[in-house]
Structure 1
Amino acid sequence: MNRKRDVYYWQERSILKYLKEEWIEHAVFKIDSNGVEGIGAGTPNPDYGETYKTTMAIIEKLRKLTEEWKNLNDYAEFEREMDNIVKFDMSSKTAVEIAIADYILNAKELDLSKILFSESGENQEMKKIYVHKDMGYAIYEEIYDASTIKIEFLEKINLEELEILRANIEKYNVWIDFKGLFNHYEVRKILNIFEGINIIAIEQPLPVGSEFAAKDLLMKYPIFWDESFKNVHDILKLKNISTGLVFELTKFGGLLKTSEYLKLARRIGLETMISSRIEHPITLKWAKKIKNSFNYIDLDYEHYIEKTSK
């Protein structure tokens, strides 16, 4: 047996409140070598067909690679080797990549968040509000100190609920994430209902594949794309119909790809947001370490988490 280090992985879950889901599962990955630890986590994204089981199955493939890799400080080379094993499940890559980044920080005092990322000029933070049918509005009592919020549609709601939502958000600066759930007519109708509210940007207003139909909206609102943006090809395709792009650590499999795509987006003049679904605290911690590299920051959703535990 040629194992150089111990590697463990396990499941944890975040217990939720105010949402229809009761919990979200996370995969946690730990490296332990000569008393030096690195711990990473990744949360499967059902929008891309990921589940806890798919993530853990791929992490099992990566465990042997991690155990036998000669020098984990060779971060970029390890990531390239992971690409040969992991094709689509980015949550598994994120858990392993962040664990290695954590390991390097503990072993060598090298903070990859500072090596790979540089600060941007403007960093506007906001609190998240998830919008769904029959949502309770007690959530607004928890964000009383916010000046800017991001409302993220999880599903379509009726006209009456839209009017109630409008009354609750009209005092804020508002970022609207449509999640690609609506057609062009429905988006315009919602924006008309919200007329008079200070809308600072709209995100993924149309489904993937319909981006060019949003050109008329771009004349009035800054538009950021999320689900439509997955790789370098998408950045180049969207550059003329975008104000900016939305980044997530788990979306791109960790720090290296996030850094690579961020530099390209900046180079062609696009603004950027660092965002997150409800993730494990370790993933969120690393996202917050790089948040000042982005123009907009959507990482404040603690009001939806009751606790995170095994």
Structure 2
Amino acid sequence: MISSTKLLHIHGDDFELLAIQQSIPLKQVFRIARGAKTSAQVIVVMIKYQGLVGWGESVPYQRYGETIESTISAIKAVSTHAKRFTEFADTIKAHSQGAAQNALDCAYLDLQAKLTGKAIEVRFNLSKTQTVITAQTLSIDTPEAMAEAAKPFAEAPLIKVKLDNIDIIEKMTAIHTMAPHSQFIVDANEAWSIEDLRQCADELAALNVVLIEQPLPTGKDEALASLHIDIALCADESCHTAKDLPSLLGKYDVVNIKLDKTGGLTEAVTLAAQAKVMGFDIMIGCMVGSSLAMAPAFLLSPFAKYIDLDGPLLVKEDRLVSFDIDNGLMQPFSKQLWGGVSHECNIEANQLFALYS
């Protein structure tokens, strides 16, 4: 069951802002190279103006120096600088970043859609979304346990595998045996060395691995410039906003766009457009969260070669309105979840606001 705690409630001159922390239990332990979790700790921001409520969800990430407390502090700074709702757009950008900015930006955009009657796709001149293939994620375990976990994905078109640098080939071979026709993304989360990459690249390619995410630590990836392998390399931790793109040229083929890194959809659109111009392929990724966090990111799917928005499959309980994902096929979301222009949208957001305000 999702548990909620009110952390912030601010009354501006003509708006209210409410921020709550929610603990969303996961279906099973989720392990990556730098740790494990049994729940997603998310921040939900709600902004109320002219009787309407917009909402957004983010995940403060310790890898980037974020905590629940620091995120709430940044949200408070924005809401105290913006005395009126019309000041929000500029203030969000000036006084926040990362997870705080993401929750604020997405709540603001959701509310603007209702106020203006204009869809967010129109606001950003985005193409219409279609059904896509999303990766489905396996977390780190023993080769035997990872093979067992891969059984339900036997016919999945795309599987993402979290791997540290222990038994890389043994684990991928075990998984490939269970899903021989799938393509794989391997996510190392900065845990490999250049030697690890050189030694395993050919064998991974033979096991249908088509992409490796962030094999080397950020700031130590210069060695990738002289590496030539048959698998595309994706920048994750090394790519946050558009300003990072020049430093990635010649080292990476793909950039992973996550709204918690860009600070929301507004900067993510800029990053996606500039990345395309500079010749990068795009992956749309996520932290572990609910369908509410996936919805704004999904609007970027027409830009992307790879989609990794399977957060809703990892949680025990999702939003009242959620994504439909079947064997990796992810349908466009209902605007009753987020971004709808009707006053009747966001039933859950209105319920949460009424409950905690």
Q: TM-score range by the shorter chain?
A: 0.7 to 0.9
**Number of the residue aligned with 1:128:** 136
Q: Tell me the distance in 2 between the aligned counterparts of 1:126 and 1:267.
A: 24
The C-alpha deviation readout for 1:196-255, integer Å capped at 9, x for no partner, is 222222221222123231235444222221111123342012122221211011111111
Partner SS for 2:309:
strand
RMSD over equivalenced CA pairs, Å: 2.8
The TM-score with structure 2 as length reference comes to: 0.75
Within-5 A mapping of 1:243-258: 243-258=253-268
Question: Are 2:155 and 1:152 aligned?
Answer: no
Q: CA deviation at 1:177?
A: 1.8
Question: Are 2:182 and 1:172 aligned?
Answer: yes
Q: Percent identity?
A: 19
Q: Is the 8 A contact 2:241 2:271 kept in 1?
A: yes
In structure 1, give the amino acid aligned to 2:84. Answer: W
Within-5 A mapping of 1:100-249: 100-119=108-127, 125-134=133-142, 135=145, 137-153=147-163, 155-158=164-167, 161=171, 163-194=173-204, 196-249=206-259
Q: CA deviation at 1:98?
A: 0.5
Question: Are 2:99 and 1:91 aligned?
Answer: yes
Q: Is the 8 A contact 1:41 1:95 kept in 2?
A: yes
The C-alpha deviation readout for 1:24-49, integer Å capped at 9, x for no partner, is 21111111122211111111112101
Within-5 A mapping of 1:263-282: 263-282=273-292
Q: Tell me the distance in 2 between the aligned counterparts of 1:295 and 1:283.
A: 20
Q: Is the 8 A contact 1:152 1:177 kept in 2?
A: yes
The C-alpha deviation readout for 1:131-176, integer Å capped at 9, x for no partner, is 32345555324434411212233x4433654543443454311122
Q: Tell me the distance in 1 between the aligned counterparts of 2:232 and 2:140.
A: 24
Which residue of the other structure, out of 23, 30, 41, is the alignment partner of 1:25?
41
Q: Tell me the distance in 2 between the aligned counterparts of 1:273 and 1:200.
A: 13
**Number of the residue aligned with 1:48:** 64
Question: Are 2:73 and 1:57 aligned?
Answer: yes
| Segment of structure 1 superposing worse, 212-221 or 101-110 | 212-221
Q: Is the 8 A contact 1:113 1:290 kept in 2?
A: no
Q: CA deviation at 1:6?
A: 1.8
Q: Relative contact order, CA 8 A, sep 6+: which one is greater?
A: 1
Q: Tell me the distance in 2 between the aligned counterparts of 1:289 and 1:128.
A: 19
Q: Tell me the distance in 2 between the aligned counterparts of 1:97 and 1:158.
A: 41
**Number of the residue aligned with 1:69:** 84
Unaligned residue ranges in structure 2 (runs of 5+): 1-10, 30-35, 320-351, 353-357
**Number of the residue aligned with 2:52:** 36
Unaligned residue ranges in structure 1 (runs of 5+): 73-77
Change (3 A) 1:109 1:142: farther
Partner SS for 1:179:
coil
Change (3 A) 1:240 1:93: same
The C-alpha deviation readout for 1:108-134, integer Å capped at 9, x for no partner, is 122223432534999963323233234
Change (3 A) 1:96 1:64: same
Q: Is the 8 A contact 2:129 2:299 kept in 1?
A: no
Q: Is the 8 A contact 1:122 1:294 kept in 2?
A: no
Q: Tell me the distance in 2 between the aligned counterparts of 1:285 and 1:124.
A: 13
| Segment of structure 1 superposing worse, 287-296 or 212-221 | 212-221
The TM-score with structure 1 as length reference comes to: 0.85
In structure 1, give the amino acid aligned to 2:21. Answer: Q
Q: Tell me the distance in 2 between the aligned counterparts of 1:107 and 1:195.
A: 50
In structure 1, give the amino acid aligned to 2:299. Answer: K
Q: Tell me the distance in 2 between the aligned counterparts of 1:33 and 1:120.
A: 28
The C-alpha deviation readout for 1:78-134, integer Å capped at 9, x for no partner, is 444223322xx5111111110110001111122223432534999963323233234
